[in-house]
């Protein structure tokens, strides 16, 4: 196969660095996500599922336009319209070299996508070198293993897992998040696809895929770029007429799967209260934007927010912040410090007196994290607090 390597680099846009709006290259239609606004956890999952469900199905093979044709359009090399760019390797190869390149079902067919709309869902299908596709097989995504020197030197694999090159990590992760939400088993011929860290569940004939914590890590390492936005736009406008919400709103990943991001767990006494000091890491600082404190009382799957638990904190232009939030807008918290340095790291102090049993019964789990208001493009590590006697 004739191929040429494609140099690929990602960077934060000036819009993010300066805290100003960027051109809406892949902005979803107005009101597309209205039913998901303000929701978290299970409610957000249900809303997103209903938005992206029942898409137009492109035939896998046959007909006047099938997934082969669609991939030629979606993965076309912008520098050579006769070529496609392959997932995993980044090679640019002639469209005419099919079947030396073929379809990659990133959520493997043997894990619940061998029939129904999932079989031809373009949001998880990519053009791929046939040899690399065979090596990957139905391995779940994770880090480590041996390299593939000839066909995909930046990928690694072992007996059950496959690590992709840095440039593809976020793309694949967000494709997996989409599949988990799009397919919930509520339609005939569709399984309830689910991401997991329990790799023993991932087997032929199952509906599981992973590794969830690795995919969240890849989502952070490789942010959404214009190439991915354009692909999402094209699938929506010309093919399936649905979108991948985790490309449009990357922060929704943390609302649905923040349990995999819990960095520290602390205990607070219901009878006596107490004080907790922990470090936060909000990633790259975003000058001029607001930071939002996210809090929920449903543990690893956010549900009902704390009363008054969503606070907006203006970050100054020096990216140096030292705020006290009294009571989080409601009892029982006495004070909450946020101190961020120019890298988005700092120290947080949470202090409280006795916790009202009716509001904070023993066993209550509270999650805290920080993110920006718009776009929701980063989140800090998640701090979990458990109420004990």
Q: Which range among 19-33, 40-54, 294-308 shows the weakest confidence by mean pLDDT?
A: 294-308
pLDDT at 219 over 50: yes
Residue 348 DSSP SS3: strand
* pLDDT average, residue stretch 149-177: 95
Q: Work out the average pLDDT over 136-153.
A: 93
Of 70-79, 137-146, 237-246, 367-376, least confident by mean pLDDT is: 367-376
Residue 374 has pLDDT above 60, yes or no: no
Residue 111: CB atoms within 10 Å: 25
Q: Which domains does the chain have, with CATH numbers?
A: 3-250 (no CATH), 260-388 (2.60.40.10)
Instruction: Give the rounded percent of residues in the chain with a pLDDT score beyond 70.
Output: 65
Q: Which two three-digit tokens encode residue 71?
A: 């991939």
State the pLDDT at residue 325: 31
pLDDT at 46: 95
Predicted confidence at residue 281, as pLDDT, reads 61
Q: Report pLDDT for 271.
A: 83
| Whole-angstrom distance, CA of residue 117 vs CA of residue 185 | 12
pLDDT, average across residues 319-344: 39
Closest CA to 342 of 371, 316, 324: 316
Q: Measured between alpha carbons, how far is 302 from 266 in angstroms, rounded to an integer? A: 17
Name the phi and psi angles at 91, rounded to 5.
Answer: -65, 150
Residue 179 has pLDDT above 60, yes or no: yes
- Residues 249-277, mean pLDDT to the nearest whole number: 74
For residues 149 and 329, the model is more confident at: 149
Task: State the pLDDT at residue 230.
Answer: 95
For position 310, what pLDDT does the model report?
Answer: 35
- The answer, yes or no, to whether residue 309 has pLDDT greater than 60, is no
Cα separation, 323 vs 138, whole angstroms: 49
Instruction: Kindly state the average pLDDT of the residues 345-358.
Output: 68
Does 335 have pLDDT greater than 80? no
If residue 70 lies in a helix (H) or strand (E), which one and from where to where? helix 67-74
DSSP secondary structure of 363-385: T-EEEEEEEESSS---B--EEEE
CA 111/CA 93 separation, integer angstroms: 29
Highest mean pLDDT among 9-13, 24-28, 306-310: 24-28
Q: Indicate the pLDDT class of residue 321, thresholds 50, 70 and 90.
A: very low
On whether the pTM is more than 0.75, the answer is no
């Amino acid at each position: 196969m004739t191929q040429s390597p494609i140099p690929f680099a990602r960077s934060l846009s000036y819009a993010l660095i300066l805290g100003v709006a960027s051109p809406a290259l892949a902005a979803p239609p107005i009101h597309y996500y209205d039913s998901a606004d303000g929701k978290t956890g299970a409610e957000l999952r249900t809303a997103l599922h209903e938005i992206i469900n029942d898409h137009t199905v492109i035939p896998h093979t046959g007909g006047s336009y099938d997934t082969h044709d669609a991939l030629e359009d979606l993965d076309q090399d912008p520098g050579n319209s006769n070529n496609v760019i392959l997932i995993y390797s980044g090679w640019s190869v002639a469209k005419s070299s099919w079947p030396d390149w073929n379809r990659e079902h990133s959520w493997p067919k043997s894990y619940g996508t061998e029939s129904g709309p999932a079989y031809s869902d373009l949001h998880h299908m990519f053009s791929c070198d046939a040899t690399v596709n065979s090596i990957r097989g139905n391995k779940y995504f994770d880090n480590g293993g041996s390299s593939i020197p000839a066909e995909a030197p930046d990928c690694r694999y072992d007996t059950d897992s496959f690590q992709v090159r840095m440039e593809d990590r976020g793309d694949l992760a967000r494709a997996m998040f989409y599949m988990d939400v799009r397919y919930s088993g509520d339609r005939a011929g569709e399984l309830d696809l689910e991401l997991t860290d329990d790799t023993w569940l991932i087997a032929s004939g199952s509906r599981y895929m992973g590794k969830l914590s690795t995919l969240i890590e890849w989502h952070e390492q490789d942010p959404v770029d214009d190439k991915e936005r354009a692909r999402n736009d094209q699938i929506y406008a010309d093919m399936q007429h649905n979108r991948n919400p985790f490309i449009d709103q990357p922060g929704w990943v943390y609302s649905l799967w923040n349990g995999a991001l819990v960095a520290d767990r602390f205990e607070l006494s219901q009878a006596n209260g107490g004080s907790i000091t922990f470090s936060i890491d909000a990633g790259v600082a975003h000058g001029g934007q607001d930071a939002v404190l996210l809090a929920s009382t449903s543990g690893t799957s956010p549900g009902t927010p704390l009363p008054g638990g969503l606070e907006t904190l203006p970050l100054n232009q020096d990216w140096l912040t030292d705020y006290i939030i009294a009571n989080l807008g409601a009892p029982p918290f006495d004070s909450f410090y946020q101190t961020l340095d120019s890298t988005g790291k700092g120290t947080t102090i949470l202090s409280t007196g006795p916790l009202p049993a009716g509001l904070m019964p023993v066993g209550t789990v509270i999650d805290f994290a920080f993110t920006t208001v718009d776009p929701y493009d980063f989140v800090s590590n998640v701090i979990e607090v458990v109420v004990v006697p």
